[in-house]
Amino acid sequence: MRIVDVWGQMPTTRMAEAPWLASLSRWTGQSPKDYTPGPERTLTAMDNAGVEIMLASAWYGPGGPLVSNEEVAAQIAAAPDRLKGLASADLSRPMEAVRDIRKWVGEEGFVGVRVVPWLWNLPPNDRRYYPIYAACVELDVPFCTQIGHTGPLLSSEVGRPIPYLEDVLLEFPELKVVGGHLGFPWIPEIISLAHKFPNFYVDTSAYAAHRFPSDFTEFMKGPGSGRVMFGTNWPMLSPAQCLEGVERLGLTEKQHQAFLGDTARKVFRLQS
pLDDT per residue as tens digits for the range 142-201: 999 999 999 888 999 999 999 999 999 999 999 999 999 999 999 999 999 999 999 999
Helix axes 38-49, 69-76, angle to 10 degrees: 60
Report d(CA 7, CA 127) in Å as an integer: 25
CB neighbours of residue 187 within 10 Å? 19
Q: For 205-256, how does the pLDDT look when each residue is reduced to its tens digit (9 = 90+)?
A: 999 999 999 999 999 999 999 999 999 999 999 999 999 999 999 999 999 9
Beta bridge partners of 54: 5, 83
Q: How far is CA 153 from CA 19, 121, 240, in A?
A: 8, 12, 26
Would the pLDDT of 27 be above 80?
no
CB neighbours of residue 184 within 10 Å? 17
